[in-house]
Structure 1
């Protein structure tokens, strides 16, 4: 089950969310584009989908990314089951237990058993790290997810298309927010 610290892991799956005036994670995804998955240590390999399989995604609309981030991690995490993965007592990453519903995740090369280790080069072990990684995607030019599949390092890279919107104003009473 996902814990508070796993919140930042959710950022890796922004591509699974569709657009609407206010995010509805249960909507179908926008039309996908061909996807590239590359082992970190090897040459890029273009994944050509087999007949009858979903085409993976390589680009995300900035507006979709912003809507997902603005809706918050709690809403997003209702579709991700994670467990911390340790090796010799040291945190390795977040192991994907389940991605629900499956059709929401079509076109994303992640599966149960994958261990996500970083998002956009940022660590995601601690709550504050995870939250920072999630929030940073709102302004980032790419979403890059580093993970292990059967102990082999891999990365997913999604180009975020569009200009970032101005940051939302802080709520009254929040650090750096408006006062009276």
Structure 2
């Protein structure tokens, strides 16, 4: 009876075995597929290789020269600093005046109000003397310096010096050019007596035309007596200067020239102007509490 049952259902046992074998094979194949396509687990040697390769690739330096050739851009080079163009300097001082005048010379005193300048009009060839505050062809004198004067013109400052601002119109002359005044022992000034002198006209004219040089040979300051202007006092006279040649000394007070009192800057200017035509000069001097008169014949 048992053998009959086994024989009848043997195919079922055989089919079950075959089914189990097929399931086992399918499971094994599934494990191989999963192992092939699944990402590697952390900590395994297989997982370290891609990471190492990626790290090394990231550390590989970029070939800047090659990149520049391909793109036309500069790479890895420091760009030159951009330098802003310097703005042009703007002149802030006085500019040269366009007036047709030229500075002949100046006499600069410690007190600016006593300084004066000699100016030549290039149109008329006439000379005139000016002081601070005077008008000159529509301008006003602001400052008198040794080698130039500053004027106010059109709301700005301009300067006038010994150079002409435009070609001068030279007036015809029949006289010979004056030789330069000599400052050495060979000077033509001669003492006739203690207080009388002879002066060559050329030397006198040369001195009056170069008041800027004359002003450097001594210091001239206003002299006050009894609270009133009494003339001009000389100090720091240089040896060999015109002052020493005509007998003047430190501390002398120039009071009168040819009877004209030097008690104001205007009188001083007037006296200097008249000296250009003078043939005889009388100079009254205050010296050591007394008075001295010196005379000069211009020849």
Name which structure has the greater RCO, CA cutoff 8 Å, separation 6+. 1
- 1:147 maps to 2:285: yes
Q: 1:5 aligns with which of 114, 128, 133?
A: 114
Tell whether 2:233 aligns with 1:103: no
Q: CA deviation at 1:22?
A: 6.1
Is it true that 1:36 corresponds to 2:145 in the alignment? no
Give 1:119-130 correspondences, 5 Å limit: 119-130=257-268
Structure 1 runs of 4+ off > 6 angstroms?
A: none
Does the residue aligned with 2:234 lie in a helix, a strand or coil? strand
Greater Rg over alpha carbons, structure: 2
More helix by share: 2
Counterparts in 2 of 1:111 and 1:6: CA distance versus 1, 3 Å: farther
Q: Distance in 1 between the 2:279 and 2:245 partners?
A: 20
- Could you say if the C-alpha distance between residues 29 and 155 of structure 1 is closer, same or farther in structure 2, counting changes exceeding 3 Å? farther
The alignment's C-alpha RMSD in Å is 2.8
Cα distance in structure 2, aligned partners of 1:157 and 1:66: 17
**Distance (Å, rounded) in 2 between the aligned partners of 1:36 and 1:140:** 20
Tell whether the 8 Å contact from 2:284 to 2:291 is kept in structure 1 after alignment. Answer: yes
- Unmatched 5+ residue regions in structure 2? 1-107, 118-176
Determine helix, strand or coil for the equivalent of 1:99.
coil
Structure 1 length normalisation: TM-score? 0.60
- Indicate conservation of the 8 Å contact 2:189/2:199, yes or no: no
Offset, 1:134: 1.0
Counterpart position of 1:65? 204
1:145 CA displacement: 1.2
2:269 partner SS: helix
**How many residues matched?**
130
User: 1:154 & 1:60 partners in 2: Cα distance?
Assistant: 19
Q: 5+ unaligned residues in a row in structure 1: which ranges?
A: 9-19, 39-56, 162-180
